[in-house]
Chains A and B, each alone.
Chain A
Amino acid sequence: MSAHLQACAALLRRDLRGAARRPGDVATPLFFFVVVSALFPLAIGPELGTLRLIGPGIVWVGALLSSILAMHRLFAADLADGSLEQLALSPTPLGLLVAAKVLAHWLLSGAPLVLVAPLIAVQFDLGFDSTLVLMLVLLLGTPVLSLIGAVGAALTLGLRGAELLLCLLVLPLYIPVLVFGAGAVQAQLGGLGAHAHVSVLLALLSAAAFLCPWAGSAALRIALE
């Protein structure tokens, strides 16, 4: 077991180290998120009631799109340079290695969104409590996006037009996260409290963390054939 964990840790370290030497790959989706979310207040005007109403939804759509932006690269580089074959031939189960890759992807694409969320929340006048709720639901929801996206990335690996196909395949599956993520912040703003929404997001995260790595590894084995 410890050898398996060591292999996963090595893969996580390799992906993070590679990203640290290509900082552009991390910065692009993050700036995309910030810019897209910042366009709406500018377009709609400084009506605070409206901004508060649409804010959570827009932040979540921005997070969805920014997550998908980096998704198609998750396995493509490994396929091209042959390291995916080596991962598939590791004594460590491929599902665990996929989980490690998803964790690396989330740390590079999802976690930064959680950190810049307060900046976006200010633009929509969300207030202190709602901003905290927004950060919490992003913290729970963005890993689900990475997990589901990884299955899509594995299924479309090596296909022509994979990027567009990935969007079409994965965006509909993101809808529950979108609904409950944005709903949590709106419930908090409406004074209802976000507990129910947060519980559903936790359940989604548990289910995705359990199922997606194995589905992804099965799809990768097919892609390698």
Chain B
Amino acid sequence: MLSVQQLACERGGKRLFSDLSFTIESGQCVQVHGANGAGKTSLLRIVCGLAEAMQGRVCWRGADTRLDPGSFRAELVYLGHAPGLKDELSAAENLDFQSQIDGCALSPLQIETALQRVGLGRQQHLPLRRFSQGQKRRVALARLVARPARLWVLDEPLAALDHAAQQLVSQLVAAHLQADGLALVTSHQPLGVESMDLRLGA
């Protein structure tokens, strides 16, 4: 499904990785390992199409993602370091906005269910500036619950989360893989699901 071919990346004049190839099939998860600065985030951003690779290409369903980015993005969820949420809006409003931008608008009931799933059922109408860092991450996770996307690209999904929320992430990823989804994840902690390991900077 997703195949990365001979990817090379350079940042600030330093070669981070080169000739990197791997594939992810339905129901598989690849976990990217590497020290800080090894290029994990750069790799994820290249796969999503947010950054350009020096060389190589990323193919989705056999076609280069740069040729038809719209249909690739429709099947992709990317969760970066900054969750892309607005402090002035409530959790429910943020999720509603995000779903419409993603091209699959959710009903108020779906939003409520998703927020309940991540343990924010009672805070869903509070503005996000009253939330802690971990609670904001939970709102971002609600996107994963709510949106039917085939490929998940998660950058440090366990950061700032408590134990219960970390287990929730494991459950979500496991359920996603069970449903024939694909996941590309960086994490310094064990994810708790069966995954293939990819080491950068080795």
Contact = CB atoms under 8 A, between A and B. Distances in A.
Contact of A82 (B49, B51, B82): B82
Interface of B: 48-52, 70-71, 73-74, 76, 78, 80-89, 93, 96-98, 100-103, 105, 127
A182 B74 CA distance: 46
B85 A83 contact: yes
Contact of B52 (A11, A84, A91, A225): A225
Interface string A68-82: 000000000000111
A10 B100 contact: yes
Contacts of A81: 82-87
Contacts of B82: 80-82, 85
Nearest to A83: B84
Nearest to B96: A10
A7 B100 CA distance: 5
24 contacts: A6-B100, A9-B100, A10-B100, A10-B101, A14-B89, A17-B93, A18-B86, A18-B89, A21-B88, A22-B88, A80-B82, A81-B82, A82-B85, A83-B85, A85-B50, A86-B78, A86-B101, A88-B50, A89-B50, A89-B73, A90-B101, A90-B102, A92-B101, A225-B51
A63 B97 CA distance: 32
Chain A, interface SS category: helix
Contacts of A93: 70
A84 B45 CA distance: 13
